Structure 1
Amino acid sequence: MYYRSLFPRDLLAELERLQRDVQQTVEPGPSIRGQRRGYPALNVGGTPNAVEIYAFAPGLDPATLDVQLEKGILTIAGERQRSAVPEQATEHIGERFAGRFRRVVSLPDDIDPNSIVARYRDGVLHVSVQRREETQPRRISIQ
């Protein structure tokens, strides 16, 4: 328990972050700490009427995003520009992703490819794909 007084907590956290960065650079696959997450972070869910995909990508220009649906595969691609650091400034930690990205989501067979809607608001891309009418649950009246 004496190590806490010898080493500040922030120093240990910084060393751990540096170790993680080096491991992610060297190791192409998942590590013992879990799989690396892609950018942008995704939430994928469904309702009886639609499949909902949320991509969390703040600070992007919606015109730079490319959303495609082909053969049940939804692809979200784009590029985030690196933030400019003033000439006299030194960047000590750079955790914000910059560069090209591509996320691919396999959708279920019951979607209607003609009813896809994509909206970008407050840094979140929301893609909604309706399910086909014949596959949606419906109530049958009894005569």
Structure 2
Amino acid sequence: MSDLYFATDLFSQFDRLQQQMSALFGGFPSSIRSSRLAAFPQINIGTTDDSIEIVAFAPGIDPSQLDVSIDKGLLTIAGERKSIAPEADESTRQYAQERFTGSFRRVIELPQQADPDKVEARYTNGCLSISVGKRESSKPRAIAIQ
């Protein structure tokens, strides 16, 4: 019976190779389902007859540290996510970090029917929900046939 021995962890080498390839090609996702690198907070965007609905998933952020603004058809979500992890001492070597910390800024281009005067934002259970009303002229309406 033969045992294979690798001087280094093979999976960590594959991970390192994948990171280098990602950096080489500008950080493009490896598949259509992959999320964009450093895209925080992740967002969902949808629409109803009356509004455009945006949900930003930002757990662990104090709502007072969030800034939401609209200017020239662009919705901006900015803020900072602080680290809650205890400081590691010099003998600890970190080999994985999946939780993003630091400043962030997401800019979302709104459709032309968005009305910047009709915006509501609320933060509940780690989700920032933003509702942007639509202009009356863009809402669907029934046309009477004569």
After TM superposition, the score normalised by the length of structure 1 is 0.78
Measured after TM superposition, the shift of residue 19 of structure 1 is 3.6
Shift of residue 16 of structure 1? 3.6
CA contact (8 A) 2:120 2:130 kept: yes
The change in CA–CA distance for 1:87 and 1:104 in structure 2 (over 3 A counts) is closer
Greater CA deviation, 87-96 or 62-71? 87-96
Partner of 2:27: 30
Deviations 1:7-51 (A, max 9, x none): 8xxx55544434444555x44723361473411111112112111
CA 1:92–1:141 in 2, change beyond 3 Å: closer, same or farther? same
Aligned equivalent of 1:113, options 99, 116, 138: 116
Please list every run of 5 or more consecutive structure 2 residues that lacks an aligned counterpart in the other structure.
Answer: none
Deviates more, 1:80-89 or 1:127-136: 80-89
Deviations 1:75-104 (A, max 9, x none): 000011123325458343211001110000
Is residue 29–residue 36 contact of structure 2 (8 Å, CA) maintained in 1?
no
Identity of aligned residues (%): 42
Task: Tell me, yes or no, if structure 1 residue 92 matches structure 2 residue 95.
Answer: yes
Q: Matched residue pairs, number?
A: 136
TM-score normalized by structure 2?
A: 0.76
Give the alignment's Cα RMSD to 1 decimal: 2.8
Q: What is the CA-CA distance between 1:142 and the residue it aligns to?
A: 6.0
SS in 2 for 1:92: coil
Structure 1 residue 67 displacement after superposition = 0.3
User: Over residues 55-76 of structure 1, what are the superposed CA-to-partner deviations in whole Å (9 max), with x where a residue is unaligned?
Assistant: 1111111011000001110000
Q: Give the letter aligned to residue 132 of structure 2.
A: V
Long gaps (5+) in structure 1: none
Q: Which amino acid in 2 is paired with 1:74?
A: L
Please say if 1:58 is aligned against 2:59: yes
Alignment correspondent of 1:76: 77
Aligned to 2:15: 17
